[in-house]
């Protein structure tokens, strides 16, 4: 089986392992040329029908906030209202709606969400909302499963702040 490729400025941009005239519009198919079978996208043309692979790049896994060595910023712990509501169960959302206008904490959160996301870090002393998760649980507005979702997604208990 032949291999075809589009080579643009000596770099392989597209590879096709079937006859391109049967797969592509003629205006596109005319740009394919026959190349050795091992050629892949990003290879560089080095001569008459000779190609070389790009240099291997060393993989560096991303640093995840909260992992060893990772640092967390307040932006990692900012929770928007939509995400907060999605973390809640259907029954918790029903109770929440009944508390709007009847509960100071719920009203404060609702008002703050009109201004932007809320920083809910639970272990940062200077965060005015650090006790909010515990207070909502005490009031019966959210349960342990919701708290776990929020803490896991937003690194709320993570000591690697800063």
Domain residue spans in the chain?
3-52, 74-154
Cβ contacts of residue 50 below 8 Å, gap of 6+?
Answer: 36
Average pLDDT over residues 23-35: 94
Q: How confident is the model at residue 57 (pLDDT cuts 50, 70, 90)?
A: confident
* Helical spans, DSSP H, in the chain: 20-23, 26-29, 81-87, 90-99, 104-115, 132-138, 144-154
Average pLDDT over residues 36-57: 90
Average pLDDT over residues 49-60: 82
**Angle ∠(88,89,94) on CA atoms, nearest 5:** 95
Average pLDDT over residues 126-139: 85
Q: Label the pairing between strands 11-16 and 32-35.
A: unpaired
pLDDT above 90: residue 144: yes
The pTM score is 0.54
The residue among 149, 32, 34 whose CA lies nearest residue 84 is 149
pLDDT above 60: residue 62: no
Quote the pLDDT of residue 59.
66
pLDDT above 80: residue 73: no
Quote the pLDDT of residue 94.
95
Worst-scoring range by mean pLDDT, 2-6, 124-128, 130-134? 124-128
CA distances from 147 to 26, 141, 151, 159 (A): 58, 11, 6, 17
Average pLDDT over residues 82-91: 91
Q: Label the pairing between strands 32-35 and 44-47.
A: unpaired
Quote the pLDDT of residue 126.
72
């Amino acid at each position: 089986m032949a291999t075809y490729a589009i080579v643009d400025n000596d770099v392989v941009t597209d590879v096709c392992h079937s006859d391109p005239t049967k797969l592509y519009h003629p205006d596109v198919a005319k740009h394919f040329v026959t190349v050795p079978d091992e050629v892949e996208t990003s290879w560089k043309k080095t001569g008459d029908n000779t190609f070389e692979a790009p240099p291997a790049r060393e993989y560096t896994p991303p640093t995840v906030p909260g992992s060893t060595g990772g640092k967390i910023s307040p932006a990692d712990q900012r929770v928007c209202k939509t995400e907060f509501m999605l973390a809640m169960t259907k029954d918790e959302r029903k109770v929440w709606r009944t508390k709007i206008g009847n509960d100071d904490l719920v009203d404060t959160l609702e008002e703050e969400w009109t201004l932007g996301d809320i920083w809910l870090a639970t272990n940062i002393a200077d965060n005015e909302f650090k006790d909010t998760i515990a207070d909502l649980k005490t009031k019966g507005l959210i349960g342990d499963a919701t708290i776990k979702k929020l803490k896991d997604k937003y690194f709320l208990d993570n000591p690697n702040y800063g």
